[in-house]
Amino acid sequence: MPATPVDAEVTGPPVGRRLVLGLLGLGAVGMVVGSRVQDALGGAISAVQRADPTGVTALVPGGSGFQFYSVTDQEPTIDAGTYRLNVGGLVEAPRSFTLQDLAALPQTDLVRDFQCVTGWRVRAVPWSGVRLSDLLSQVSPSTGATALRLTSLDGAYTESLTLEQARRPDMLVATKMLGAAVTPDHGGPVRLYAAPMYGYKSLKWLGGIELVAAVQPGYWERRGYDVDAWIGRSNGRADAPV
Ligand SMILES: Nc1nc2c(c(=O)[nH]1)N[C@H]1C(S)=C(S)[C@@H](COP(=O)(O)O)O[C@H]1N2
Ligand SMILES: [Mo]
């Protein structure tokens, strides 16, 4: 999806297409017009890819079929030794998890498709990591907590889940993907994998999970995409005709 420079100006609940266009101008056009425009421009058109004269970075190396997405110009460099996943907010026992901490929690394997809202899909991807529900048990959400706010170490991307969604068994804090550690391009060392939802829910370079009292729509959701991104039950845009 195209990068937009105005994150700070976009707040509040999901907005309709006309308002998105008004707020964001050209940056939003690729998004609201949808996959055909993006395909014509060569697939995913992040600033990173536009900066690459070969254009082949639209596909992550390795032939997996994944496209590389980042709303920022640079992917963060994350050192495995100092990595921390900070989980706090409305919880009884806030905690920072190292990679070793995550590895010591029960591990879950899933094999599921990965589906981007713009149309591409990678079938039967193996994922492993810690169930979000298992991680949440470690910090004991308080009674007032109803939702999660997830933040990326890229400093720009955010996502949201209701606490109920986060407790599904197919929501994973993924440390492995495609049979190996999650690569930096794919959001390693730790990314979210929200199996029943479109790819924009699967936040890369996961750095923080904050338990909050109400859903705070994520990066693409503030630009008009559905907050509940169920594959097949959501067309990915809050305003699109039924
Ligand atoms: N931090 C961050 N996470 C992100 C994105 C992004 O731009 N930045 N894009 C999302 C979208 S729209 C998709 S489809 C997937 C793509 O994952 P991939 O780059 O591993 O193929 O990442 C999601 N998570
Ligand atoms: Mo996506």
CA of 118 to the centre of ligand 2 (A): 6
**CA atoms of 215 and 128, how far apart (whole Å):** 26
- Which residues, at least 6 apart from 133, have a Cβ–Cβ distance to it below 8 Å? 166, 167, 168, 169, 171
Percent of the chain with pLDDT over 70: 71
**Which CATH entry fits the domain spanning 85-223: 3.40.50.970, 1.10.645.10, 3.90.420.10, 2.60.120.10?**
3.90.420.10
Q: How far is the CA of 143 from the centre of ligand 1 (A)?
A: 31
Reported confidence tier of residue 37, pLDDT bands at 50, 70, 90:
very low
pLDDT (tens digit per residue) in 179-204: 999 999 999 999 999 999 999 999 99
Q: What is the pTM of this model?
A: 0.79
Ligand 1 pocket test: which of 202, 209, 220 has the largest number of ligand atoms within 8 Å of its C-beta?
202
Q: pLDDT confidence of 237, banded at 50, 70, 90?
A: low
Q: Measured from the CB, is residue 193 less than 6 Å from ligand 1?
A: no
Determine whether 181 is exposed, middle or buried from the number of CB atoms within 10 Å of its CB (0-12, 13-18, 19+): middle
Q: Is the CB of 202 under 6 A from ligand 1?
A: yes
Residue ranges per structural domain of the chain: 17-61, 85-223
Residues 6 or more apart whose CB falls under 8 angstroms from that of 8 comprise none
Stretch among 102-106, 178-182, 214-218, 230-234 having the lowest mean pLDDT: 230-234
Ligand 1 contact, 219 CB (< 6 A) = no
